[in-house]
Amino acid sequence: MSKESFKGKLIIITAPSGAGKTTIVRHLKEVIPELAFSVSATTRLIRKNEIEGRDYFFKTNDEFSELIKNGDLVEWQEVYENQFYGTLRSEIYRIWEESKHILFDIDVKGATNLKNKFNDKALSIFIKPPSLTVLMERLINRRSETPDDLRRRIKKMKEELSYESEFDISIVNDDLEVALQHTEKIVRQFLVN
């Protein structure tokens, strides 16, 4: 199949860190077989239990710069100082070649870039925590961050919450089961329309 034969839809899930977007994305991958996950590229260090090519494509800053220079990224952002994230053009083609729709777990700026690029072919969903306090507790309890990383993430999540109105729909994740069902219903409706 040629790279241009199938152009499916894009499901863009975004949220501040700790709001539950990755849990919701995992659920969607399990229950909607016509979705395939787009693995992002990043320059951040690999975390315990992460696997190259499954969670991210881990790149050095030089490698990431080459991707930008060569036009290999559909979108990219410097999410934190010297920490870049981006969507590989090859991932989009890989998924379309499988005749699947693309599922993204992506930061808010990357999500707005994708939505602007793909417009009506994309559904952008903002996962919102019930409150800033709950979000901070989730991040702290995750224990996957250094104290410096935690401070950066808390500062960043306040900024990210201000982007909510940029997205097609906002879902409050105060009850995970309800949020999972609501998101799944919205995605299924979008895929059949």
Q: Where are the alpha helices (DSSP H) in 49-100?
A: 61-69, 89-97
Is the four-CA dihedral 64, 80, 133, 186 of positive or negative sign?
A: negative
pLDDT band at 133 (very low <50, low <70, confident <90, very high): confident
137 or 66: whose pLDDT is higher? 66
CB atoms within 10 A of CB 73: 22
Q: What is the mean pLDDT of residues 123-150?
A: 80
pLDDT band at 1 (very low <50, low <70, confident <90, very high): very low
> Using one digit for the tens of pLDDT, what is the confidence trace for 158-188?
888 889 999 999 999 999 999 999 999 999 9
- Of 98, 91, 4, give the one whose Cα is nearest residue 106: 91
CA distances from 94 to 18, 84, 149, 152, 186 (A): 29, 22, 33, 33, 25
| β-pairing verdict for 35-37 and 169-172 | unpaired
CA angle 101, 47, 96 (to 5 degrees): 15
- Flag whether pLDDT at 3 surpasses 60: no
- Flag whether pLDDT at 80 surpasses 70: yes
**Euclidean distance between CA atoms 12 and 95, whole angstroms:** 14
Q: What is the mean pLDDT of residues 12-29?
A: 91
- Flag whether pLDDT at 153 surpasses 80: no
Instruction: Give the chain's domains with CATH numbers.
Output: 10-192 (3.40.50.300)
Q: What is the mean pLDDT of residues 112-137?
A: 90
- Provide the residue type at 35 as one letter: L
